[in-house]
Amino acid sequence: MATEAQGAGDGGLVFHPMDQFMVKPLFGAGEVGFFTLTNVTLWMALTVAAIFALLVLGTAGRATIPSRTQSIAELAYDFVRKMVEDVAGKDGLVFFPYIMTLFLFILFANVLGLLPMAFTTTSHIAVTAVLAMMVFLTVTIVGFVRHGAGFLSLFWVSSAPLPLRPVLALIEVISYFVRPVSHSIRLAGNMMAGHAVVKVFAAFAPMIIISTGIGLLVTPLSILAIATIYALELLVAFIQAYVFTILTCVYLKDALHPHH
């Protein structure tokens, strides 16, 4: 906000597309410590509140014929449950609350982050990396606990010709360890890029104040672009939550049934 005011004072266009991602203390301007109340805290609290509102307050009626909110809550429940069951199998349902937590957190963080002036917690690699590492560790631990050394057969492609198997095993091991990286960067990258693009177009919008001639063309165009990108971002918010969740289910399937 401060930088925007400064920029307007200079009378030029202001490009700070990355400012929206800055982690700032909510009160005062000190260092960001471990337990400092920051905008991260605020938006994560809002995410939790939104989830609470939908899934707890929305279903408070426990109606046989559901209200609209209850319908949405049931829809989300069925959606994730079916995904877990279809992809990871019946025994994957033990992890349903865990996967539901991931899905709802990412979905609500993504969508709340689309509000103007919002802070998108899932645009930070620190957040998505933790989410991805949690999945990675869960999958690895569950795999070894359930199957012991048999879990390593995941890397030993028994359907391939014998001479190829060591090479394939190496590739499989690398891909296994790259999973959390791609898993986390995909989400954070999508969120960051979309929001940054919106901010860039938004910076062009006040052109009409600076120069009426160019502004007549540029301002409507940039506003149109913001609206379009915003719609796309809404789609991406859902899709990325879905992708993260379904990949979690796929990885979990490897842990539960490592034999191809």
Partner 1 sequence: MASEPQATESASGLPQLDFSTFGNQIFWLLVALVVIYFILSRVALPRIAAVLAERQGTITNDLAAAEDLKVKAVEAEEAYKKALADARTEAQKIVAETKAAIKADLDKANEKADQEIKARTAEGEKALAEIRDGALEAVRDVAKDVTAELVSAMGGKADGRSVSAAVTARMKG
Name the residues that contact partner 1, by CB under 8 A.
2-3, 5-6, 18-19, 21-24, 29, 31-36, 38, 40-41, 44-45, 47-48, 51-52, 55-56, 59, 62-64, 66, 70, 73-74, 77-78, 96-98, 100-102, 104-105, 121, 123-127, 130-131, 134, 188, 192
Nearer to partner 1, 194 or 258 (CB): 194
Nearer to partner 1, 57 or 170 (CB): 57
What is the Cα–Cα distance from 132 to 187, expressed in whole angstroms? 10
CB of 248 to partner 1, least distance (A): 13
Phi, psi of 160 (to 5 degrees): -90, 160
What is the Cα–Cα distance from 106 to 244, expressed in whole angstroms? 8
CB of 35 to partner 1, least distance (A): 6
What is the Cα–Cα distance from 28 to 142, expressed in whole angstroms? 44
What is the Cα–Cα distance from 250 to 105, expressed in whole angstroms? 19
Q: Does an H or E element contain 126, and which?
A: helix 125-147
CB of 252 to partner 1, least distance (A): 16
CB of 242 to partner 1, least distance (A): 18
Cβ distance 22 to 199 under 8 Å? no
Nearer to partner 1, 185 or 210 (CB): 185
Cβ distance 45 to 57 under 8 Å? no
CB of 134 to partner 1, least distance (A): 8
